[in-house]
Structure 1
Amino acid sequence: MTGWRHARSERLWLDAVSATDLDGVHAIHADPATWTHFPAGRHVSPEMTAGKIDQMVEQWSADGLGYWGVRESAGGPVVGVAGCAVPAGFAWWNLYYRFAVSAQGRRYAAEVARRAIEAAHDVAPDRPVLAYLLESNVASRRTAERLGLREVWRGPDRDNPDPAAVRIVYLDRDPDDELTRRVEEFCRARSGTAAG
């Protein structure tokens, strides 16, 4: 497959996030219930979400893949944001999934993440897929493990308001020494962001 802007999973419609998705994407990211494990990540204004959407649009343009707006029906409202995108300055795919409370508990994250990993392997198979998440987010950890991702790093989330917070990195492959070094550098530099 060469184009991933519009895709399907078993039950869901996946469309590259665009500015027209602002209301749905903001509703998900502004809801404190979707940030239980990292309250500081919540979007506090539509402008903040619009800035993130601009980044997502740029990722699609730059890398041929990014985050999708997830829908339960064609043209329906966005119930999640998920996919793989390349973080600025790094050489891997970041696997991300966040769903409205109304869509949680249906294993949508695993369903879309499987499709996202397939897309990432199609677009740039040499680029590893990374999931960067909080240890306390058991559901997200289980999803990563169900997908066959392997834990390769764990350490403090230094800028997290919770001083006991621990970040975990999962990869879709065993890292070589260089990738291990870059992952550790990434984790030390990029605390305070939630990947899943």
Structure 2
Amino acid sequence: MSVRLRTERLVLRPFTEADAEPCAEINADPEVMRYIGDGRPRTAAQTREGVAKAVRRWEEHGWGTLAVTVASTGEFVGLAALAVPEFLPEILPAVEVGWRIGRRHWGRGYAPEAAREAIRFAFEDHGMDRLVSCIHRDNAASVRVAEKLGMTL
């Protein structure tokens, strides 16, 4: 996939199979996963399965989960995603923007920077006119990110 998005500090690109290992490290952290899905960390096998699914979605739709790396070093810091929130059928049809940053990179503004670029990509490059973000009400940090992005309840 030739998509490569840049911000001032970050590069966002479609997930590849090579992203499974660094993503598995993030997904294994209970603090990172606390408000995602059932709140449990994911195994390496679950992460590999999720990455393979993300790769297929890019091939099918031309958009999906973006690996987020530091532009100056190439270090994998997390993801920004455009996904159909199938786990919440009552809001469908919809596309969700989401983010997940490794804990050692928290507090640097990477989540809103990456999500803002994913939103731009969705609206400008794919003609989407509405995005949602499904955030657990107790996840104050992600609520703040959504607010920085101009999202409202």
Work out whether the TM-score is over 0.5: yes
Cα distance in 2 for residues equivalent to 1:135 and 1:122: 29
Unaligned runs of 5+ in 2: none
- The Cα of 1:142 is off from its aligned counterpart by 1.1
Q: 1:7 to 1:72 in 2, by over 3 A?
A: same
The alignment status of 1:83 with 2:81, answered yes or no, reads: yes
Partner of 2:108: 106
% identical equivalent positions: 30
Partner of 2:47: 49
Determine which structure has more spread, i.e. the larger CA radius of gyration: 1
Cα distance in 1 for residues equivalent to 2:18 and 2:26: 15
Q: 1:127 to 1:4 in 2, by over 3 A?
A: farther
Q: Aligned pair count?
A: 149
* SS of residue paired to 2:132: strand
Cα distance in 1 for residues equivalent to 2:30 and 2:41: 9
* SS of residue paired to 1:106: coil
Say what the alpha-carbon RMSD is for the aligned residues.
2.2
Partner of 1:187: none
* SS of residue paired to 2:134: strand
1:94 maps to which of 69, 83, 96: 96
- Equivalent residue letter for 1:63: H
Task: Show CA shifts across 1:71-114 (max 9, x none).
Answer: 11367231111132334584322111011111100111110111
Cα distance in 2 for residues equivalent to 1:130 and 1:4: 26
Partner of 1:62: 60
The structure with more strand, counted as a fraction of residues: 1
Q: 1:112 to 1:78 in 2, by over 3 A?
A: same
Partner of 2:5: 7
Q: How does 1:130-141 map to 2 (within 5 A)?
A: 130-141=132-143
- The Cα of 1:39 is off from its aligned counterpart by 8.1
> What TM-score does the superposition give when structure 2 sets the normalisation length?
0.85
Contact 1:24 1:77 in 2 (8 A): no
Partner of 2:26: 28
- The Cα of 1:133 is off from its aligned counterpart by 0.6
Contact 2:27 2:43 in 1 (8 A): no
Contact 1:83 1:112 in 2 (8 A): no
- The Cα of 1:118 is off from its aligned counterpart by 0.4
Contact 1:93 1:130 in 2 (8 A): yes
Partner of 1:72: 70
Partner of 1:117: 119
